[in-house]
Amino acid sequence: MTTYAIVQTGGKQYLVHEGDTIRVETLPYEEGESIELSDVRLISHDGDVTVGTPSISKAKVAAKVLGNAKDKKVIIFKYKSKTRNRRKQGHRQGFSELRITGIQG
């Protein structure tokens, strides 16, 4: 068995193991900074599961910011037939890439 946790950031929940790399909503940290994610919802140590209500106090997941970037462009195209009505718009969602360095709790 292994140690894993479920953390919440940016309104989404992520299942993480130590050493994983995840993409989350943009965080206000620079590349190379170490951060702690304190909103831990579940931790499992070798099959011993602890579930929070809604989060576990004193549990933290340590991570390092690998960088901030924007994702590929998504094209939004709306079209209504017979009315010459069309609209084209693009969007690039920002994200932060994190490497999980430790799970405490």
pLDDT in tens, the chain (105 residues): 589 999 999 999 999 999 999 999 999 999 999 999 999 999 999 889 999 999 999 999 999 999 999 999 999 999 999 999 999 999 999 999 999 999 997
Q: What integer pLDDT is reported at residue 1 of this predicted model?
A: 53
Q: What integer pLDDT is reported at residue 12 of this predicted model?
A: 96
CB-based contacts of 51, cutoff 8 Å, min separation 6:
41, 42
Q: What integer pLDDT is reported at residue 105 of this predicted model?
A: 79
Q: What integer pLDDT is reported at residue 39 of this predicted model?
A: 94
